[in-house]
Chains A and B, each alone.
Chain A
Amino acid sequence: MSEPSTIEKAGGGVATYVDQRVGSNKFLARNLGKVFPDHWSFMLGEIALYSFIVVLITGTFLTFFYKPSMIEVVYDGSYVPLKGILMSEAYASSLDISFDIRGGLLIRQMHHWAALIFIAAMAVHMFRVFFTGAFRKPREFNWLIGVVLVTLGLIAGFSGYSLPDDLLSGTGLQITRGIAQAIPVIGTWATFLLFDGQFPGSDFISRLYSVHILLVPGLILALVTVHLMLVWTQKHTQFPGPGRTNENVVGYPLMPVYMAKAGGFFFIVFGIIALIGGMVTINPIWIFGPFMPDQVSAGSQPDWYMGFLDGALRMMPNWETNLFDWWTISWNILIPAVIVPGILFTGLALYPFIEAWVTGDKKEHHLLDRPRNNPTRTGFGVMAITFYGLLWIGGGNDIIATSFDLTINSITWFLRIAIFVIPPIMFVVTRRICLGLQRRDRDKLLHGYESGRILRLPHGEFIEVHEPISIKDKAVIMSKTDITPLPAPERRDSAGVRNKRYHLQNVQHKLSGFFYAENIAKPSAAEIEAAEHHVAHEVALEAPLHAYEDADQINTFHGGVLHHPGMPQTNAEQLAERAQH
């Protein structure tokens, strides 16, 4: 042990000083060596976190220059085409940020790109968590927090996107007004309260501003903190592999590897967002012009994450009900804009509880599922993504129509039918693919890899050589847990007492069968041992050839014929012989 340097002494001094006041060394002792597992997909959540931090940093900068006011002013900035035009102060200050504040456009575009990446990263992170079953006990709360975070992310994105008060964002608000107004009973009043009267009013931008910079980010920040604290205390899940069990964590310690890797990755994400923000234009508000409630540009498109709502609105048939000629229920708006997203997000939030109930599974899970090993869940996930994707396509139907020379009517009719037909097909197809992959895994365990090499044995028999699968592959495949469907409930127990929960249990039994009945069971330990023995035998048969191959590879072999002592054994020897002649 060398003497501690001056810096280390000073650091130790600080640590002691802080520890005596907050007791931090206990925490450090426990956590500096905390192990985190490594996998590329674990970085998706990190991307979401880091882009959110970038959003906070750039957003704070923007608040210093943006004016959340709908007071009409005459624009007098550097952007010549709009000079002298009457516009809201919000729009004028957004133009100033873009043209008259150095670095302003860079920060504005970084803010927008980071927000898009934030939501995209959350979505993909959620896919990873869903398809690997990381939401299972004990992580259900964190899944719920995640669903709320995605929802808040959408609200944050939409509210921010509406602030510049340009023509495009104003059209978005106009649509929002139409949706809010369609809510039965309270809709009209709620809209008037939101907009301080009729649309567009003169207060909405400033109200939206406080939602965008205080309420929503405050909630996101609080929930992100809880989300991370839970990840910390519950320890991260890990993918199966050799030595990885449900009771341990295999990976690298926080200090130094994860500090460097995760900390470094923050700078990577931040840097890439800055590069994109400087080089790729996003939301060129100066092209759209100031908001006017009676103007619109064709091909208006929302940010990507709102596209599914727009598509749902476009796809919906024009149903409306009049109750006694007194009241209106606008199904054409309620279903696509309120009910469908409501079902989608509620389903998402409840899924972990539904699956746990169906499977009767009460165990803790820290080892991740491979998507194929839970075909029904994976099928549901793909089905939901397909459903969302079709809505999204609907949101771009005008662009598709002009790009591919189709009529909007035919695309809309296709989607109206497809939305009911294609997701279930995708469910079935995905499920079959998963089961097929399970069979393949079973085959690998029982027969090893098919090497593709045909071997002729001395007595003339031809066999294909199977190679043993690697330790890693074996561990991964063996990580599958076979779940047996719940048994059918009894109407009466042995004492003849009627089972009061029979119907509920029967539903559970049927669903559980639906989930797991077709599951391909893992081979037993004895079967695997026999298989390994067999593979080892084949490998032994081929071994002399390998010895021959090992020295040097030229691949001018003698057609898989076994060689005997005295004949040239290796390429190296052959070459040596040639060199002699």
Chain B
Amino acid sequence: MSDLTPHDSHANAPERLGYSPVADVPHALRMADTDPKAARRAERQVAAMFMLSMLLTIAFVVGYMTIDKTSIIYIPVFGDVGTSTFVLGLTLGAAIFLIGAGAIQWAKKLMPDVEVVQDRHDLASPASADQEALANYDRGKAESGFARFKLIRRTLIGALALFPIALLIPLRDLWTAPAGSPSPADLLSVTLWHEGLRIVTDPNLMPIKPEDLPIGGLVSGIPEDLEEVQELEGNMNARTKAAIILVRMDPSDIRAQQGDGWDYQGILAFSKICTHVGCPIALYEQRTHHLLCPCHQSTFDLADAGNVVFGPAARRMPQLPIGVDEEGFLVARSDFAEPVGPSFWERG
């Protein structure tokens, strides 16, 4: 402790053994330094905080045991809140906070507030240590024969370089291709849609007649067999690609389509998955026929073949050719002609 010296040196700074002044900065004494009553008061304050903390912890336990987890309470400013969460948070928070507040009050009022000085020491090792380290290294190198045994050295480096491969290779089975081992790109390029597959509404699963859909209307659609497929596959992969929206507009408003006559009496079907990074899209402005992605605001003009009119998406929204079956319900006439969803490397 001999290198501790007080930094603030004023005549009335509390005297501490072994300290000497370093700079002439006035140091104001605190109440607790001069007045024993103030010191007593500070002591009582600190103890009171610790005491209150204990009581609040007990209150937490009582609250935990007695408050019904579904009860709701009105607190001004906060509104209706869950009683349990509110009371537990309040008691726990205050109990912990008071420990901290007490400790800091203790430090500020009763512990020395005179700054002291300590010297820094060189971080770098002294030259003697450098030499010793080097000598040890050289000796070790010579004794191991690392430089001499070329064969050992090279095979060791080879072995060390190769073995991590054995740790990484098994990551390959993070994904196993399904039967017929299609590539990821193949899988991303097909959806459930095929000729004659009925379009049903999502989430009510009702088949759709063209006359059900008014001009300007928008309906979310999925393949009729989607639920079965989901059940079978145990995931929502098929839904991610097959979800579509149906919009109906005045046929004279349609300026272009991705294929001749892919609409049915002004009803157009587009993928619901944004071609930018794959958010589902459902914000449709019927006056302009624009479809807006809520995530990054790519905007597609559905009256103009689903082309991009604004935003970061580079590709148009894929269109699904539709028609009606013999019962008059809307069906797909084929799968999408291009992959749906975000771009990928092999897409071309």
Contact = CB atoms under 8 A, between A and B. Distances in A.
Contacts of B188: 188, 198
B97 A272 contact: yes
Q: Which of B69, B107, B113 has the most CB of A within 10 A?
A: B107
Interface in A95-126: 99-100, 102-103, 105-106, 109-110
A260 B106 contact: yes
B347 interface: yes
B103 to A, nearest CB: 3
A224 B342 CA distance: 38
Contacts of A169: none
B147 interface: no
B236 interface: yes
B23 A106 contact: no
Contacts of A234: 123
Nearest to A291: B236
Contact of B314 (A103, A292, A332): A332
Contacts of A192: 175, 184, 187
Interface size class of B (residues with CB under 8 A): 35 or more
User: Which of B22, B88, B313 gathers the greatest number of chain A CB atoms within 10 Å?
Assistant: B88
B51 interface: no
Interface residues of A, number: 116
Nearest to B220: A294
Given A250-B116, A253-B4, A398-B294, A472 B25 contact: yes
Contact of A332 (B7, B85, B273, B312): B312
B93 A318 contact: no
A105 B82 CA distance: 9
B133 to A, nearest CB: 18
Contacts of A155: none
B112 interface: yes
B107 A200 contact: no
A267 B103 contact: yes
Contact of B111 (A175, A257, A310, A326): A257
Interface string B223-238: 0000000000011110
A293 B118 contact: no
Interface string B136-162: 000000000000000000000000000
B248 interface: no
A249 interface: yes
A465 interface: no
Nearest to A196: B175
A261 B89 CA distance: 24
Contacts of B24: 242, 471
Contacts of B97: 267-268, 270-272, 274-275
Given A35-B4, A188-B346, A264 B104 contact: yes
Interface string B332-348: 00000000011111111
Contacts of B236: 200, 292-293
Interface of A: 33-35, 38, 70-72, 78, 99-100, 102-103, 105-106, 109-110, 138, 171, 174-175, 177-179, 181-189, 191-202, 207, 233-235, 242-243, 246-253, 256-257, 260-261, 263-279, 292-300, 310, 313-320, 322, 325-330, 332-333, 336, 364, 366, 397-398, 408-409, 412, 471-472
8 contacts: A100-B69, A193-B172, A264-B100, A267-B96, A296-B281, A300-B295, A318-B308, A328-B346
Interface of B: 1, 4, 7, 22-25, 64, 67, 69-70, 78, 81-82, 84-90, 92-104, 106-107, 111-113, 115-120, 123, 171-172, 174-175, 178, 184-185, 187-188, 202, 220, 222, 234-237, 239-241, 243, 272-273, 276-283, 294-298, 308, 310-315, 341-348
Given A268-B101, A272-B97, 16 more contacts: A71-B234, A103-B64, A106-B89, A192-B175, A250-B22, A251-B116, A256-B111, A257-B111, A257-B112, A261-B104, A270-B100, A275-B89, A276-B89, A294-B280, A318-B308, A326-B346
The list of the 5 closest CB pairs from A to B, nearest first, reads A278-B89, A271-B97, A178-B277, A264-B103, A267-B100
